[in-house]
Amino acid sequence: MELTLDLTKKWMENFNQKIDANKAYLSDLDTPIGDGDHGNNMARGMAAVLEAFDSKQPADLTSALKLVAMSLISKVGGAAGPLYGTAFLEMAKLSASNQDLAALVTAALEGIKKRGGANEGDKTMVDVWSVVSQALTAGDLTADKVEEAVQATKDMEAKKGRASYLGERSVGHLDPGSVSSGYLFQALLEVGE
Ligand code: ADP
Ligand code: MG
């Protein structure tokens, strides 16, 4: 699948709806293993993304992805803001020469790993981005695969981010950033159909 300007706008609108509808749930997930702000952080960031699309009217894919990145970096705060921001910035950079969704998501994943130092199995959003990158590359991304990747974070012990302070006590809780990343890719699958 190729990412386009039109698809990106629809994708972000749909993601914003999911974040807004689930912001209390995301902050609740962040309470036992974090500081309880993930839903509010993401909701603030996505509201800024939609406002920026409205006021700046990006004319091409690269500008749109850059605008998403900048809005998230400046408004989300916490760990997730710079990490989501880096993901969209890497997609923006590559999108000037390559619009293939698998390549874009893979570049984003590399950016998240480099920026946050997390690997697969560390109970972070990397666990969802990695599964999605592989599935897109293989051409078989489904909603079930995304959901499975999100659920798999429950039994992991956090090695990065705030949840890692809890060590073994982080086991048994879903990772909030993986849940929000799950919404991101469910939103993409819905608009890409
Ligand atoms: P904060 O932890 O600063 O309060 P948020 O609550 O908004 O930020 O986001 C927490 C999420 O960020 C975690 O659930 C996890 O998925 C992700 N995260 C935290 N640290 C890292 C990291 N080093 N690498 C990748 N993802 C991370
Ligand atoms: Mg938090």
Confidence band for 166, pLDDT divided at 50, 70 and 90:
very high
Answer yes or no: is the C-beta of 35 below 6 A from any ligand 1 atom: yes
Share of residues in the chain with pLDDT > 90 (%): 98
Residue of 42, 113, 160, 164 with the most ligand 1 atoms within 8 Å of its CB, for mutation: 160
Backbone angles phi, psi at 2, to 5 degrees: -100, 140
Confidence band for 72, pLDDT divided at 50, 70 and 90:
very high
The confidence score (pLDDT) of residue 4 equals 98
Average pLDDT, the chain: 97
- pLDDT (tens digit, 9 = 90+) per residue, 92-147? 999 999 999 999 999 999 999 999 999 999 999 999 999 999 999 999 999 999 99
According to DSSP, residue 162 is labeled: G
pTM: 0.98
Answer yes or no: is the C-beta of 85 below 6 A from any ligand 1 atom: no
SS3 category, 2: strand
Q: Which of these, 94, 78, 73, 86, lies nearest to 129 by C-alpha position?
A: 86
The confidence score (pLDDT) of residue 77 equals 82
Compute CA 23 distance to the chain's CA centroid, rounded to the nearest angstrom: 14
**170 alpha carbon – ligand 2 mean position (Å):** 14
The confidence score (pLDDT) of residue 78 equals 87
Share of residues in the chain with pLDDT > 70 (%): 100
Compute CA 110 distance to the chain's CA centroid, rounded to the nearest angstrom: 13
Residue 70 near residue 58 (C-beta atoms within 8 A): no
Beta pairing partners, 2: 100
Confidence band for 148, pLDDT divided at 50, 70 and 90:
very high
The confidence score (pLDDT) of residue 155 equals 98
Torsion sign across C-alpha atoms 163, 25, 74, 175: positive
Residue 154 near residue 172 (C-beta atoms within 8 A): yes
In the predicted structure, residue 193 carries a pLDDT above the cut 80 = no
Packed helices 176-192 and 23-33: angle between N→C axes, nearest 10 degrees: 150
User: What is the rounded CA–CA span in Å between residue 102 and residue 104?
Assistant: 5
**160 alpha carbon – ligand 1 mean position (Å):** 8
Atom of ligand 1 nearest to the CA of 37: 6
Copy the structure tokens of residue 100: 């293939």
Backbone angles phi, psi at 100, to 5 degrees: -70, 125
